[in-house]
Amino acid sequence: MPTQPRLILASASPRRRELLAGLGVTFDVITADVTEHEDPSTDPRVMVAHNAALKADWVAARYPEAFVLGADTTVFIDGHALNKPRDAAEARAMLRRLSGRVHTVFTGIALRRVASALSIDRGEASEVTFRVLDEATIETYLSRVHTLDKAGGYAIQEHPELIVAGRTGSLTNIVGLPVKTTKQILTQCGLLKSSS
């Protein structure tokens, strides 16, 4: 029996871990020791693609036989990326900025395997419309959701009734890993059986 090729998720994100596990694929988690590019004025598509590749390349260089999946997500509004807030004050400011408006969530995905010179990059975008948030709602949200490890200072899967009015595009993309696109890539590489 040929052994199943190893898949590694190059991300510390518990949300990505849950979404990838939902595809029924076996994988390990190894966090890349890299400094992500987070200049808010950078084109968000370029930034998330760069960071996803950076993570995947770092781990793939150390595990050349493995398939390595990297991903990066950011929130984009007013020509600027809103990355992970540094503190509660910045999370509060981000929620005020998003209040009553539409923003875009971009995710970059990179799959690498050094042994077979495999390099696949994909990008996805979704739009989220926020409710108009008063200060009391913002404080309630921040008291219920740990926002400091989340781009834009919010998590759409946690208490969306407080902040979200609607969305278009992939929900899992907004969470941090577009599952449909990821499934297509893994199927293409033989890591998942085609469900057709």
pLDDT for the residue numbered 1? 44
Query: In this structure, what DSSP letter does residue 148 have?
Result: T
Asked if residue 157 is part of any domain, the answer here is yes
CA angle 45-82-151, nearest 5°?
Answer: 90
Asked if residue 35 is part of any domain, the answer here is yes
Residue with tokens 């010179």: 117
52: domain CATH number?
A: 3.90.950.10
Number of H helices and E strands in the chain, helices first, is: 7, 7
Asked if residue 2 is part of any domain, the answer here is no
CA angle 159-165-168, nearest 5°?
Answer: 105
Residue burial 48-63, b: 16+ Cβ < 10 Å; e: rest:
bbbbbbbbbbbbbeeb
Q: CB 21: neighbour CB atoms within 10 A?
A: 12
Catalytic residues: 72
pLDDT for the residue numbered 194? 73
pLDDT for the residue numbered 195? 62
Asked if residue 193 is part of any domain, the answer here is no
Q: Give the dihedral sign, CA 167/78/161/20.
A: positive
Q: Where are the alpha helices (DSSP H) in 114-159?
A: 135-144
pLDDT for the residue numbered 5? 80
Range of the domain at 161: 7-188
**CB within 8 A of 160, min separation 6: which ones?**
none
Asked if residue 195 is part of any domain, the answer here is no
Q: Which of 129, 131, 130, 109 is nearest to 120 (CA)?
A: 109
Cβ atoms of 115 and 128 closer than 8 Å: no
How long a stretch of residues is the chain?
196
Asked if residue 47 is part of any domain, the answer here is yes
The domain tally of the chain equals: 1
Asked if residue 196 is part of any domain, the answer here is no
| Amino acid code (one letter) for 133 | L
What are the pLDDT tens digits along the chain (196 aa)? 456 689 999 998 999 999 999 999 999 999 999 999 888 888 999 999 999 999 999 999 999 999 999 999 999 999 999 989 999 999 999 999 999 999 999 999 999 999 999 999 999 999 999 999 999 999 999 999 999 989 999 999 999 999 999 999 999 999 999 999 999 999 999 999 876 4
CA dist list (Å): 182 to 34, 42, 109, 117, 167: 22, 25, 8, 19, 20
